[in-house]
Structure 1
């Protein structure tokens, strides 16, 4: 970072201690085929220099739409009224050209879903260079050097090589870190962070929060921190505003609101941590999925001018056995290979090794054989927006598997099953004729889960299925998955960086790092007495334990 902020970003002496960003009577409405949606109902919020304001609440409460309206980024069917002032200057309704001089340079935003914000046709280096050239006036060489610094700053390994990568070649957590680097490129004095750590593992979460703290202290940067994670809000925020149904129901110092909440809704959020434990399956339960020495290697880039490709050993000779009614939790940092392992096990990507599904060698199956097994093995992907077609309604998306595997069903029968699947994931079936972009991130993840569950599979691979969900919905999804498992004998591979959710749902844990399995065992044994130093680091980061407390657990 430069030693001083650019002169056009200096704090105006006349502004004194006035708010950096002030919303007054902000009101947001959307026109939809089903009528008007009143998303934000005349709220007042203020952000002061050097302050962190956490805006918390469940999916659909209006948190993100409040800040999208402030940034002038509402969808075309959105209407906004009220006032948005940056350093005392009204910016609501400014022409696009004038607003573009503020967005990115003075007010930056980290979006919740990096795959919708990163251009799939450009390398990471090209996309990082753009704000540096526009707002910092850097030349090509200086922009590249600064891009490397920014990637290193947000914890991406081998940043020089990663400049050549495309978004789809990075893990979900790595893409989110790239978004953070882009937002920080112009050194803004207001940062709106919309769930910036949702896709990140617990150790990187702690690093990112500390990074934002250090930048905030250096530049007196104000941060609006939108989150459903009350633990993060407690440790990071100065003030908290709790939203529900488009209104602020409680606001005050974080220590007060999150320790002595005055509103029933705030108390409900604080009581929504997933809890409980899962008993292991019977010893004689049949094996449904087995892998021996699974190995996956990727080759990135390369060519006549670029030189040899980068070889990434994503999964290194990993073995596992999944029984009927069992849940194996697979944990590790972003890029550890846990998602790659899950996809290789069900042949969505190629790998070497012996894989058997329901006793049948997967490597020997042709396309028709694989298709017959796919009904029994479903997957929920980490990024719901990228896995849901924007041209299909929710009803069409959820019923898609029925059209493939049960073509004899008539439209009325499919609709009944769609309604039941949406109710199972606590989503109103009346919304089934809407499109994915009309839902919040958490609601889209519930749609993805409903699509996987509608076929009643025997094995479900859950790749970060609760990462975009608020805690109250996480708890409901955990209870839903437990019930379905009991009733139907389902087996789960549960891939996640959220150790509290993994602990509540899994009876066996696998810990991965850099493609290798570093520790495996019964859930409570691993949590209470982890054998590997890396596992102890993950647990300490997740639960905020000091080294001394960790030693006491051992």
Structure 2
């Protein structure tokens, strides 16, 4: 490299103490980042990508330890006290985390959380920090930014929360921006804009970028150099063009070749209807303060109808905030809704919480944010078998252990890992744990809310294959909510396209992809083919 690295990592090793003995997450890697350079780190979940940069930020879990050398402009960061590291974190090195809901404080409004680092690192007044926070929300294209400053994290969609995290990371014009799966929660039309924004700021500010991503299309488009990691080691590195056009390591070749493929076999024509929804509506009152006269109402789901057969998958797509996830929660009776929902020809609309409890076994969900839905105090085995304690209380502990082992094996996780805790797993591994927890009860309907968004391409393909196998074996029905249209295409019989709470287009999967009728659908599909 022509210039002195702004970040130089040498022989970095990261180890975690676990109930099953030490776990070697990173095994002696070297990595350099020049000033203003755009570097990407790719690899499967559990390859050590995130733990490498977490070590650089001094953010390893309490049972983790790092050795080697991490130098920022010649200053050794490894071993610095938290107080001394704080002089670098947030101002010199900033990080966008993979799971925004666990990074935002649910008790504070967005504006207050954005203002805190601005006041600490820039010394801005309360008013000036709020003004700057508003500028940043506009920069990352948050709709209604003035209103969002006073919103709580739970009032934003997953994509909107991620954009808030990006705005916070960019607030102090850092020297190095570490982006750990920054577009995981974003729909296809926004993710390209966000990466373009980061690239633009990098040019304007001379900022270096480290991108950790399983989206190889984005890596190819924006990164200048690539490091490929497998099992805690760098197996290949070099210029992006060379890595993509002339990969030398078999693992790199496998990554580049991975893509969800195949088409789902349709359910039998006479398959019975499992779920029906008619004129489903969900509204949220956004008014604040008891003296406020004007009532602001958000119609998150606005008159949606659907009919789902046994063994069928309906893909639900649309931009962040379109109402996809809210629709899924309304069908599961997790949010108040009006309209009619029938499951197995039984009306769910008037059922209270107690009456719904016996049906929960048949109505399962896998949510977008696996870390937020997994208890940090339970082992993976305990998490996966939570439902069995409720729905099969007569099972012995040994039988629950056996069922947990089978469920973990089905989602390509080693059953021997069931005594570990969620924080000891990568984001993709945590999502597989969440899938195992849902599948262990053999439900009839599963609402899959971005189930592959945190997974790299090689694991996505295996999860898609697994979901198809389980569906065929047990005649499962899926509502598949996703912004990843390639996965939706591989999984779905039909597609519903949502915008502003309404269904703007629906039809058989191939008809939607080959001949979309609405301009909005055409834009979504065009964005998905950006790379």
Q: TM-score, normalised by structure 1?
A: 0.94
Contact 1:331 1:338 in 2 (8 A): yes
CA shift at 1:247, angstroms?
0.5
* SS of alignment partner, residue 363 of structure 1: coil
Match of 1:243 in 2: 229
Spell out the pairing of 1:273-422 with structure 2 (5 A cutoff).
Answer: 273-304=259-290, 308=294, 310-422=296-408
Q: Is the 8 A contact 1:317 1:516 kept in 2?
A: yes
For residue 161 of structure 1, report the CA deviation from its aligned partner: 0.3
Question: Aligned residue for 2:137?
Answer: 151
Further displaced range: 206-215 or 30-39: 30-39
The yes-or-no answer on 1:442 pairing with 2:403 is no
- The structural deviation recorded for 1:468 is 0.6
Contact kept in structure 1, 2:385 and 2:400, CA below 8 Å = yes
Give 1:5's aligned residue. Answer: none
CA pair 279-46 structure 1, distance change in 2 beyond 3 A: same
Query: Structure 1 residues 501 and 511 mapped into 2: Cα distance closer, same or farther (>3 Å)?
Result: same
> Relative to 1, partners in 2 of residues 1:460 and 1:80: Cα closer, same or farther, differing over 3 Å?
same
Residues 267-311 of structure 1: per-residue CA shift (max 9 Å, x gap): 111121000111322222110000111110011351136665542
Contact 1:165/1:301 (8 A) holds in 2: no
SS at match of 2:119: helix
Q: Which residue of 1 aligns with 2:86?
A: 100
Q: 2:208 aligns with which of 207, 214, 222?
A: 222
1:90 Cα deviation from its structure 2 partner: 2.0
Q: Which residue of 2 aligns with 1:198?
A: 184
For residues 471 and 364 of structure 2, the distance between their equivalents in structure 1, rounded to whole angstroms, comes to: 14
| TM-score, normalised via structure 2 length | 0.98
Residue in 2 that maps onto 1:6: none
Match of 1:130 in 2: 116
Q: Per the alignment, in what secondary structure is the counterpart of residue 290 of structure 1?
A: strand
| Corresponding residue of 1:265 | 251
Task: State the Cα distance separating 1:474 from its structure 2 match.
Answer: 0.7
- Give the Cα–Cα distance (whole angstroms) in 2 for the partners of residues 408 and 41 of structure 1: 44
- Indicate the SS of the match to 1:364: coil
8 Å contact 2:20–2:419 — kept in the other structure?
Answer: no
Match of 2:419, SS state, is coil
Contact persistence 2:61–2:423 (CA under 8 A): no
* Residues 199-255 of structure 1: CA deviation (Å, up to 9, x unaligned): 110111011011001101101111000111111111111110000111100000111
Partner residue in 1 for 2:70: 84
Q: Corresponding residue for 2:41?
A: 55
Aligned to 2:472: 486
1:164–1:301 contact (8 Å) kept in structure 2: no
SS in 2 for 1:19: coil
Secondary structure of 2:281's counterpart equals: strand
Question: How far did residue 543 of structure 1 move?
Answer: 0.8
User: Residue 294 of structure 1 contacts residue 353 of structure 1 at CA under 8 Å; is this kept in 2?
Assistant: yes
Report if the CA contact (8 A) 1:303-1:309 is conserved.
no
User: 1:58-110 CA deviation, whole Å, 9 max, x = no partner?
Assistant: 11111011001111111222221111111222222223222211111111011
Unaligned runs of 5+ residues in structure 1 are 1-14, 546-554
Select which of 76, 82, 104 maps to 1:118.
104
RMSD of aligned Cα (Å): 1.4
User: CA distance change for structure 1 residues 136 and 305 in 2, over 3 Å: closer, same or farther?
Assistant: farther
Taking the aligned partners of 1:59 and 1:529, their CA distance within structure 2 comes to 35
Q: Distance in 2 between matches of 1:146 and 1:157?
A: 16
What is the rounded CA distance, in whole Å, between the counterparts of 2:377 and 2:8 in structure 1?
37
Query: 1:68 and 2:54 equivalent?
Result: yes
The answer as to whether partners of 1:107 and 1:192 remain within 8 angstroms in 2 is: yes
Give the C-alpha shift of residue 482 in structure 1. Answer: 0.6
Report how many residues are paired. 531
SS in 1 for 2:127: helix
- Contact (CA 8 Å) 2:309, 2:477: kept in 1 or not? yes
Unaligned stretches of 5+ residues in structure 2: none
Partner of 2:169: 183
Distance 2:18 2:352 in 1: 45
| Of 185-194 and 87-96, the range deviating more from structure 2 | 87-96
